[in-house]
Amino acid sequence: MTPAAVLRGLKPDWLSDPKVWRTEILAGLVVGLALIPEAISFSIIAGVDPAIGLFASFTMAVVISVVGGRRAMISAATGAVALVIAPLNREHGLGYLIAAVILAGIFQVALGALGVAKLMRFVPRSVMVGFVNALAILIFMAQVPEMHDVPWAVYPLLIGGLALMVFFPKVTGVIPAPLVSIVVLTVITIAAGIAVPTVGDKGALPSSLPVPGLPDVPFTMDTLTTIAPYALAMALVGLMESLMTAKLVDEITDTHSSKTRESIGQGIANIVTGFFGGMGGCAMIGQTMINVKVSGARTRLSTFLAGSFLMLLCIAFGPVVSDIPMAALVAVMVMVSFATFDWHSIAPKTLKRMPAGEIAVMVITVAVVVATHNLAIGVVVGSVTAMVIFAKRVARLADVTSVTDPDGTGVVYSVNGELFFASSNDLVGRFDYAGDPNRVVIDLSAAHIWDASSVAALDAIETKYAQRGKTVEIIGLNDQSADLHGRLTGELTSH
């Protein structure tokens, strides 16, 4: 391959394809606009000035576009992170909050390097579906206050915005429908002088770029012990939400992403954000859906431009952006919530075919997320529930059958299934200790020993037979089972 061909292969898609270039720029603009009211709202939740949330969204998006593992995913200030750090800001002030953001980033880098992303393989599909559906519900619920107790003109604007996003793509897909909706509704409200809530009503936009600096806190052990619990909670919540979002984008785009790189990238982005005075953040699934699913973005350019446009719009076009009606952005988010929800998962035909346990896991995940407004808690509860259901289901698969020798001198018990803490609990009661002959063979050719509980159960069986003067021979162990049994047998009890 020639050097020129190698260089062409290293070029990003948007440099070589004008269509991709246009899509990425317009997608970045739409997301940048949508980020502004969200960042301001999350700033209010955290109890900080709106500029703190906007700075965080700017630095998170720009940095993650370079160091992140999932292309086209949007990271910015989020509600989940705001809820975690709000008490710290309330009790100790902004300096401690900024210090916690930096420490959370360090934790995320460390967790990413230790391979925490590999835990994603233990998140079942039913939890993933519940996560997506809960997210869609939360996105919609977040828009409800913007539709309550507002001037009547908000409603026709909202309906008009939704109509534009439904029908405009049928005319052309060159320009993202959400951008068209935002521009048209803004022009209408300004031209007609319609008094409705606007972006400017959410808070003042910053007039200059953030500057780097150290958090205003004493660098002592007391400070570290104060911020560490909040930083660790923020790191875990941020990674959970980011990795779940990355997995969802993988499925939507049918592409693979490095979850380890994403974990480390989230940490780097939070460290940079903290030094620039931002409130920290993680992946934003709502804005990511606008970018990937609605606008069709697929590269890092859209992520970089989302943050860049956000800051450019605030600084250079603050007065214009302030006049954007909230109805336009609410319409965009309502459309996003509708597109995000997995309607197939609740179709009667699907529910009839799905195992009851998986339906229960999906419902529990949705219920916990909606009740707590915390996606991470819902995912953890849903995953634990799925594991419990799986353990109970697998435990029933362990079976024991016996065949007595014709001469009555021995008996062979055949154990079939997976032996672990759940199934091995009942194993001890499946043998006739008093009635069996003196020679007992336990055949484990069709079984597998997974844990110490199973070895302890086999030891207990041997002990019960030994107390009656009978011998037990265990045969048929596969290599892994034999190794575990050999290392642990006789070592698990003190008597």
**Mean pLDDT, the chain, integer:** 88
Given a cut of 60, is residue 102 above it in pLDDT?
yes
pLDDT at 495 (0 to 100): 47
pLDDT at 9 (0 to 100): 46
Given a cut of 90, is residue 417 above it in pLDDT?
no
Given a cut of 60, is residue 491 above it in pLDDT?
yes
The rounded distance, in Å, linking the Cα atoms of 411 and 401 is 10
Residue with tokens 């509860």: 381
pLDDT at 13 (0 to 100): 54
Given a cut of 50, is residue 239 above it in pLDDT?
yes
In the beta sheet, which residues pair with residue 475? 443
pLDDT at 6 (0 to 100): 40
User: Which residues, other chains included, contact 468 with Cβ-Cβ below 8 Å and sequence gap of 6+?
Assistant: 433, 434
- Average pLDDT estimate for 430-455: 92
Q: What is the pLDDT of residues 383-409, one digit of tens each?
A: 899 988 887 777 666 789 988 887 778
Tokens of 480: 């892994």
> Residue 46: which pLDDT band, with cuts at 50, 70 and 90?
confident
Give the angle 302-114-131 at the CA atoms, nearest 5°: 55
Three-state DSSP state, 100: helix
Given a cut of 70, is residue 329 above it in pLDDT?
yes
Given a cut of 90, is residue 363 above it in pLDDT?
yes
- Average pLDDT estimate for 19-46: 87
65: nearest Cα among 343, 261, 295, 227: 261
Given a cut of 70, is residue 14 above it in pLDDT?
no
pLDDT at 493 (0 to 100): 65
Q: What global pTM score does this model have?
A: 0.73
Q: Are 470 and 439 in contact (CB under 8 A)?
A: yes
Tokens of 76: 């910015």
pLDDT at 159 (0 to 100): 95
Q: Are 115 and 260 in contact (CB under 8 A)?
A: yes
**Percentage, residues of the chain above pLDDT 90:** 50
pLDDT at 440 (0 to 100): 94
> Residue 16: which pLDDT band, with cuts at 50, 70 and 90?
low
Pairwise pLDDT comparison (104 vs 183), residue with the higher score: 104
pLDDT at 5 (0 to 100): 47
pLDDT at 277 (0 to 100): 94
Given a cut of 50, is residue 7 above it in pLDDT?
no
Q: What is the pLDDT of residues 67-76, one digit of tens each?
A: 999 999 999 9
- Average pLDDT estimate for 285-310: 91
What count of Cα atoms within 13 Å lies in the side-chain half-sphere of residue 448?
Answer: 7
What is the DSSP secondary-structure string of 419-444? ESHHHHTTGGGGS-TTTS-SEEEEEE
The rounded distance, in Å, linking the Cα atoms of 31 and 198 is 17
Lowest-pLDDT range, 104-118, 189-203, 211-225?
189-203
**Where are the strands (E) in 380-482, listed by range?**
399-404, 410-419, 439-449, 471-475
pLDDT at 458 (0 to 100): 93
pLDDT at 10 (0 to 100): 47
In the beta sheet, which residues pair with residue 474? 442
pLDDT at 12 (0 to 100): 60
> Residue 421: which pLDDT band, with cuts at 50, 70 and 90?
confident
Q: 37 vs 52, 142, 200, 421, 422, CA distance in Å?
A: 13, 12, 9, 50, 50
The rounded distance, in Å, linking the Cα atoms of 232 and 212 is 23
The H or E element that residue 282 is part of is strand 282-283
Which of 114-123, 253-262, 337-346, 350-359 ranks highest by mean pLDDT?
A: 253-262
